Amino acid sequence: MKEMLINGRFTSGHAKEAIQVINPANEEILDEVPRGTVEDVDTAVAAAKAAFDNWRRMPAWERAGLLHEAANKMQAHEEELARLLTEEEGKPFVENEEELFWTYDTFHYYAELARHERGRFLPPGDPDQINFVIKEPFGVVGCIVPWNYPLLLLSWKLAAALAAGNTVVVKPSELTPLATLRLVEVAFDHLPPGVVNVVTGYGPEAGEALVEHPDVPMIAFTGSVETGQRIVRIAGPMMKKLHLELGGKDPMVVAPDVDLDTAVAGVAYAGLINAGQVCTSSERIYVHESLYGQFSEGLADFVGSLRLGNGLDPQIDMGPMIGNRFREKVEGQMAAAVQAGAQVLVGGKRPSALPQGYFLEPAVLVNVNHDMAIMRDETFGPVLPIMPYKTFDEAIQLANDTVFGLGASLMTQDARLVKRFFDDVKAGTIWINDPLTDNFAGPFGGMKMTGGGRELGQEGLDEFYEVKHVHWDVEGKRKEYWYPYGGTEG
């Protein structure tokens, strides 16, 4: 059994039971982790709280050096960690190599960014005064991390939180805790005890205990809208800082001027990487009516050629879904769409050649509309539903017809359409001709029911600071506008 990290030690804590971690490619048990308890969360939070004062007072250059060292250790174990990610989460090894690069380089990025500044000076209201702003860490940050990119989405929270001077308690997904535990084992052994803690367990138990804890003033969470809403209900009365990224239903618009082969390959990548289990997956495809038939056929042919299998096989393009209940949700959305008139051009079945594992053939659907759940609700699976549009105004209206606002993509060489798109589409990230690519310096996050938090960039670091304004009158003389208003005699 892999143990939790609390106060610099690996331990099973108060757990009386274990959680089995399953390889989604073959349904075999990889390992077990403790089913963390409220008492384990209490212990971890106490350790993080005790470590906070020294950590926040550490000079920024010294803290940066420790984060660079952590990043270098991650890179030294890149192949091992990528393999473990593939075994517990399922996506192809090459995709996990990319996840590891983003993980360790995020630590390098925030290590340097936090050395740059901690506030700003303001023009004073009087020559004898000084005004300045200080950015300060919150204290103990609870990081609740999903299963689809366990290390990348951990690093986007953890690196920024640590760089800002916070200490952290991490609750990884019970589906993918192994790579997280191995990462903190190999990369953070040089940090002071209590600065980083990891409690494994289920959301309603360990996760809620972290959200409810009075000594955790900030929660950073990526996951479903429903869980995010529950976090808000619990944490709202406590006035905690909430950093939420709650998924999406991202549109992809294909303009009439595209190169067809390029557009087909781009849409397939945007919708099917990690078997479509990406919060920024292109889950709604809108194609100009002049290309609709040709594009749909070309996409179906392309998707039908993709190879499914164990992510450790270098010849495969797509791995399994994370679990059977997630696969059943996708199958249910497709079945309901077909019942309402949609047509499946390719895929959508469990491959008979892969009887073990949670595999689902990537699917292309046509004859869909916005009355169908598959065009409204987050699918989080390998499905590409396509609708035609007549005018670009209609395409923008369709793109905005959602409660989510995480990302949106456009494929075109027409600069006028590009400007219309990024001006009028309500989404936190706009991709033009290169979907799902991130930038360390560019903020990532959404609008509307996606939650509004930001990761990466200066904005991602600022999420983990609270702000203090200092107004200092250097001379300290009595002011003429103090009481009494009528003035003084003599």
Catalytic positions, written as ranges? 245, 279
* Length of the chain measured in residues: 490
- The DSSP letter of residue 3 is P
Distance CA 392, CA 414 (A): 12
Residues 6+ apart with CB under 8 A from 181: 2, 3, 4, 5, 33, 172, 198, 200
Cβ-in-10-Å burial (0-12, 13-18, 19+) of 414 comes to middle
Measuring CA to CA, which residue among 1, 358, 12, 404 is closest to residue 178? Answer: 1
Q: Report residue 121 as tokens.
A: 């000076």
Q: What is the DSSP string of 207-228?
A: IHHHHH-TT--EEEEES-HHHH
Q: What is the DSSP string of 301-353?
A: HHHHTPPBS-TT-TT-SB---S-HHHHHHHHHHHHHHHHTT-EEEE--S--TT
Measuring CA to CA, which residue among 246, 214, 217, 215 is closest to residue 229? Answer: 246
Distance CA 271, CA 250 (A): 9
Q: What is the CB-side half-sphere exposure of residue 28 using CA atoms within 13 A?
A: 5
Kindly report the CA angle at 225 between 220 and 35, in degrees rounded to 5? 60
Enclosing H/E stretch for 137: strand 129-137
- The DSSP letter of residue 259 is -
Distance CA 298, CA 303 (A): 9
Q: Report residue 90 as tokens.
A: 């399922």
C-alpha 246, offset from chain centre: 8
Kindly provide the b/e burial profile for residues 25-36, where b requires at least 16 CB atoms within 10 angstroms of the residue's own CB.
beeeebbbbbbb
